[in-house]
Amino acid sequence: MGEPFVTARGLRKVFHSRGRDVTALDDVSFTLARGETLGLVGPSGSGKSTLARVLMRLIEPDAGAISIDGEDWLALRGRALRQRRGAIQMVFQEPLAAFNPRATIGGALDDPLRIHGIADRADRAERPRRIAELLERVGLPAGFAQRAVHEVSGGQRQRVAIARALATRPALIVLDEAVSALDVSVRGTILELLADVQKSDGIAYVFVSHDLAVVRVIAHRVAIMDAGRIVETGPTPGVIADPQSAMGRALVAAVPRLDFGRDDGA
Ligand SMILES: Nc1ncnc2c1ncn2[C@@H]1O[C@H](COP(=O)(O)OP(=O)(O)OP(=O)(O)O)[C@@H](O)[C@H]1O
Ligand SMILES: [Mg+2]
- The answer to whether position 223 is within a domain reads no
- The answer to whether position 263 is within a domain reads no
- The answer to whether position 55 is within a domain reads no
Strands (E), the chain: 6-17, 20-32, 37-41, 63-68, 71-72, 88-91, 172-176, 204-209, 221-226, 229-235
The minimum-distance atom of ligand 1 relative to the CA of 52 is: 18
- The answer to whether position 53 is within a domain reads no
pLDDT at 119: 60
- The answer to whether position 204 is within a domain reads yes
Å from CA of 234 to ligand 2 middle: 21
Cβ(22) – ligand 1 distance below 6 Å: yes
Å from CA of 22 to ligand 2 middle: 15
| pTM (2 d.p.) | 0.93
Cβ(229) – ligand 1 distance below 6 Å: no
For the chain, 266 residues long, the average pLDDT of each consecutive 10-residue run is 87 95 97 97 97 96 97 94 90 79 88 72 75 95 93 91 94 95 92 96 96 94 98 97 96 76 46
Give, using CA atoms, the residue closest to atom 3 of ligand 1: 15
Give, using CA atoms, the residue closest to atom 22 of ligand 1: 49
* Cα 99 from Cα 92, distance rounded (Å): 13
Which residue range forms the structural domain that includes residue 163? 4-48+62-218+229-253
Cβ(20) – ligand 1 distance below 6 Å: no
* Beta carbons of 215 and 14 less than 8 angstroms apart: no
Q: How many domains does the chain have?
A: 1
pLDDT at 261: 47
Cβ(209) – ligand 1 distance below 6 Å: no
Cβ(61) – ligand 1 distance below 6 Å: no
Cβ(50) – ligand 1 distance below 6 Å: yes
State the CATH number of the domain containing residue 211. Answer: 3.40.50.300
The minimum-distance atom of ligand 1 relative to the CA of 42 is: 21
